[in-house]
Structure formats: C-alpha cells, structure tokens
Structure 1
C-alpha cells in the first residue's frame, strides 16, 4: 500500500513539474520582457515624453513588416497577410509615432515602472486621432485621454481635448477581464492585418516585467474590439456607432 502511495505521489510530482515547466516555457515564448527594451539614452522630459520628434514610440521588434497576397477563390479574391520575421516596418512605426508625438504622450517601453498601463491609440483615416491611457498605480486608477484636430490617416494636427478621469477598481477589473478575453499578451506582434483607409487600433501594455504592442486594422467586433471600445465608453466623447470603425 505504501509503495502504491509512493508511486502515486511521485507521478503527481512529475506531472506538476511538467506543468510548471510548460507554463514557464509558454510565458517565455509569448511575453516580451521590458528588460530588453529599457534604454536610458533616449532623451525625454520629466513626464517621459521624448524630446526628439524622430524618436519611435515602439521598439523595432514590435512591428515586423506584413506582406499581403491576393488569392483567388470560388467566392472572389481573398487577402492573406503574413508577418515577415526579422524585419521592421519603419513606415508604420513612424506613422503611429507622429500622432503620439503630437499628443505629447509618454513612452511606455524605455524604462521600468511600478505601474500597469494600457494605451489604446485610435487612428481613423478621416477622423480625429485619439488615445486612451489607463493606468493602475499607487495613486489608484486613472484614465487619460486626448483628441487631436487632424486625421488619423493624414496629419495629426494639435491637441484639442486633454482630460483625466479617476476610475474605480471595479472598472479596472472589468477592463482587465476584457484584456484577458482578447488574449492580448499572446496576440501577434505589430500590425496583424492591413487594408486601405479604415482605421488602426493600436494597443500597448506594460507592467513591471513585460511590454507588448499590437495593431488591428478596422475591427468591428470580437474581444479585441470590445476591449478598446470599453475605454471609449468610459469617457464623455459621444461617438456614433457608425463612426467606430
């Protein structure tokens, strides 16, 4: 009896060890450690806003190039995108960064922090660029949002709206649940799909250990859409549903 119990315990310990190792390897494979991006040589002001307009807002590794193929099917033409590993989409990074510079937003990747932050940058081709930055820190839960006068697909313009809102632990919990449902920390890096006109939905996340950035072109439903849309719903910007493209 003791021998059977010993063998069972040994088997359970082995399975537990394998499970822990699998989880560890999974995290290594999908997470992007903030350690690899920290760069004290980047010139910033006291709010961590870059002072050089040429400074990218994203590490190169976050935005590999995406190539697009048109494949003929029985139902028409289907567009298939593929990420080119080991490349850097300089055009996209400069485009996104230009709008974040105009918003005077802080960098999120260049130094370690004791907060957890998510930033949704919304660039609609023909509408005003917006950003929503939700922070959890020692001071509580704060949402910062800004609106520019320009257009997401063209020139950014200047800051038209800049607001701060104190939120609750419940609202943070609801948002992070949506982040979990969208599987944000495991999403494909960079710009996962492309198209003409439409909009760019760019989400960044950073905490004490990890940083990640993804971009989705013109989502209209799904968990990622719901995550970003929740941030829009927390502010007093009355945006018609038809303009949430």
Structure 2
C-alpha cells in the first residue's frame, strides 16, 4: 500500500538553513551523532485518516501538518548518513553544485551516491554500508569515487530537469510498508532542496537516481532496484 501526501511549500533558499553553530569536521561531517542531516522544515509530520467508501472498502486520506517535524523519519535517514560519514549539504554556502541520492531499501544494503560539480571538474562518490536500510545501517563496506566527464554531468542534470526536481514536493511525498526510500538532495550557491519518494519503479525521478547507479561499478539487478 502506498500513501500519497499533500505537501505544503517551504522556501528552499540556502540562506534560510545556513547554521555556523553546527559542529562539523574539516569535511563538513557532523561530529554530533544526533545532528539531523536535513532542516526540520523539510520533514513535517503527516496525519492519516481512514475513509469508509460506499462499497465498504477504505481509502486513506493524508495531509501534512503545518509547523510540525517528523523526527522519526529525519532521524532514520540521518542515522544512515552518519554511518556513511557523509557531509551535511544545507548548513553552509558552497561554491559548487551537489546532488546526493540516498537509497534505503528495507532489507538491502544502504547506499549513497553524491555527484559534485566545481568549475569544470565533475566527481561521483558512492558508499555502501553492510547493514539494511530499514534496520541498522552497519558500517562502510564500499567507498569509491570516479572522475566524470562533462557529458556525464549534462546527462544527469537533464534528468533532474525532466524530473522537475527543484519544484517537487519537499520532504516525503509518499509512504508505504517495506519497499524503499529514494531520497534526493540538491544544493548550489543559492538553493537547497530534499525530496523522498517511496519505491519508485519508473518515471523521471527514478531515471535520475538510476543514472547515478549506472555510473558506478556496482552490479545491481533490476529486481533489486526497488
């Protein structure tokens, strides 16, 4: 079962989130394990109502609760990014453009794919943990990087445009049982955004995330791309 959520809008301007008081190391990795990886405004709580239909079946109506914070979701995602020793993307202004796809499958190894552009240099970093996305993250099992071409970057950003990433609903726009969380962050000199889609199997957002997977040497079967 999938629940689709009605979102409310929040400003995505990076100035709103910059916070020099957050303690980080030289790579901008938070030193406090309790530090969330996302601004609180990005993950409001969701209310759920079961509606009885005329044929005695039930449908689910959900909506975002304005001014709240889904601490469980933010902590769940953040726990895995802490284990990956990933940098924060929202707390400081940068002179580059970054997208990070974090892939949390319930029963499979957590992964993250971070693509960066600075001037005419393009790099993809990916990490794999030995835990499970719906349970404990475990420890880093694979950590690699790859120098990309401008063509690689252009093809990826075209997919981002086709997905309309910068106008997608903020935070978590659908939920379900088991499955997987596909979390995409983007940040540049002026803006920051994060969205989470539950178990996509096709479409422009799926294509953008899957393209990052395809740039690595990871061997992942199609049936495991849930």
Structure-1-length-normalised TM-score: 0.85
Structure that is richer in helix per residue: 1
Question: Could you say which residue in structure 2 is the equivalent of 1:214?
Answer: 195
Question: Which structure 2 residues correspond to residues 96-175 of structure 1 after superposition, within 5 A?
Answer: 96-138=77-119, 140-175=121-156
Superposition pairs of residues 23-62 of structure 1, within 5 angstroms: 32-62=12-42
**Pairing partner for 2:163 from 182, 189, 193:** 182
Which residue in 2 is equivalent to 1:235? 216
For residues 183-222 of structure 1, give each alpha carbon's deviation from its aligned partner in whole angstroms, at most 9, with x where no partner exists. 1111111111111111000000000000001101111111
| Alignment match of 1:203 (pick from 148, 160, 184) | 184
| Counterpart for residue 5 of structure 2 | none
Counterpart contact for 1:148–1:161, Cα < 8 Å: yes
Q: How many residues align?
A: 217
TM, length-normalised to structure 2: 0.92
Q: Paired residue for 2:50?
A: 70
Question: Which of the numbers 200, 205, 209 marks the counterpart of 1:224?
Answer: 205
How far did residue 67 of structure 1 move?
A: 2.4
Aligned-residue Cα RMSD (Å) equals 1.5
Q: Secondary structure at the match of 1:194?
A: strand
Gaps of 5+ in 1: 1-28
Q: Distance in 2 between matches of 1:195 and 1:139?
A: 40
For the residues of structure 2 that align with 1:88 and 1:224, how far apart are their CA atoms?
25
Structure 1 or 2, whichever has the larger Rg, is: 1
